[in-house]
Structure 1
Amino acid sequence: MSQSERRHERLAVRLSLIISRLVAGETLVIQTLAAEFGVSVRTLRRDFRERLAYLDLEFRNGQCRLLSGSRQRELTVQTFVRQSGVEALFPDIDNQLVNSLLSASESPCLIWHSTNVRTQAQPEVFTRLIRAITEHRRVTLLAEGHRCTGLAPYRLVCSDGCWYLTGEHEGHITVFTLGDIHTVTFNPELFVPDTQVRNLLSHPDFLRVLPHFQTFHSLFVVGDDGFSPFKEQR
């Protein structure tokens, strides 16, 4: 990864964390935030002025917070829809649609999922993994008696009503069923997401075999056109 790509990666992470904290209702202290991200106050102010100008922000005494109200409510919903991947299910998720959905006395939509009985993910596990993914932080997992140390979590994927953790461990793609994960411990080490790994984990062929990954991953290799049968080198 080039220096320019790393710089843009750090910027994306910084903006994502700032937005998530603002949406969560936090009041951010600019000076503290600058020290946390290792950038100048001037850089942060440029982030707010140029890259987060669409947010309703209030600045006072070196602090920043997101204004409340109906407009903020719409922004929160749209941000959640976009970040969770649900946006693709709607023709257009604009302010008018958000207002109609939120003001309805009865739900006008229903997203149906399979009713198959599955082991549910623990809320604490889910929340900690979301934080680790957004902060690009390595984790140690304890799952069904198996301990995995130093895993780089990339994304949580919901397939047929079941959540899976996808990531990289010691140079290999790995998948865990969330219902099998008992504990998640944050490691002090951060990681820089690999573009090739990220693209692979979002590839339609990978997502199709996700529930059967442990069975199929040794039988297939990935190429520019997706997955193809593995052929032993001679």
Structure 2
Amino acid sequence: MAYKHDYDSILTRLTIILSKLNDGEALCVKEMANEFNVSARTIQRDFNERLISFPIYQDKKKWKMQEGYKLEKSSNIEDTVILDIMQKLYEGAGDTFSMKANRLLGKIKNNTFNPFFAKLGMEDIGDKLKEVQLLENAIKKEVQITCSYRMPEEKRELVLKPLKIANYDGFWYLIALDTKDNKLKKYYLKNISLITLSSIHFKSTKKLDTLLENSLSVWFSEDVEPYKVVLHISKEVAKYFKRKA
């Protein structure tokens, strides 16, 4: 399938990174990017988003595990990565969604103590579970969908090629190609309803896969090349920016 993020590769990368940190190594973003043959932005996203639940911090441009922490809850660090990330993500997704997810994870995890805490501030999508399931199914099958999309002053009927359900700054979006112009667009998930899967298949491209993988906010565009921005800030607040560097 052309559209399929290599989740095994992502999981392998996160597991290796966490194992290195757990062994006391200090990791540099650039070195990790070279080791895994991905962009520095992807590694930054690993540390700042995908591994946010773990007790890691950045010191002098190197990432470290906080002293006194050791991942010994599970003999398999890969299991720990999957379950802890899933649990923290679901906690911010709404009461209904979170309750169902945590009940399932609890059966798997059998763990009464979790020392990690992360407040991700994601909006409640508990009332959109049906839509999420339909979209997930369409993305996996690579089939077009029809749906109703609520605009500020009207509703529109759309035919889309769904690529990804994404969370940017706490809000959920569907990233999809509009069949009218085949342009990549972002649709606020809560405004989507009446989803129907079609029998029309489509194929994404490697370029789109890479663009989606490296996107850090909803404002990305396939027509705009990434560019470097230099900020001049006072030393008093520099430490807050370095955490995202």
Compute the TM-score of the two structures, normalised by the length of structure 1: 0.48
Question: Whose relative contact order is higher, 1 or 2, with alpha carbons under 8 Å and at least 6 apart?
Answer: 2
Quick check: which one's strand share is greater? 1
TM-score using structure 2 length: 0.46
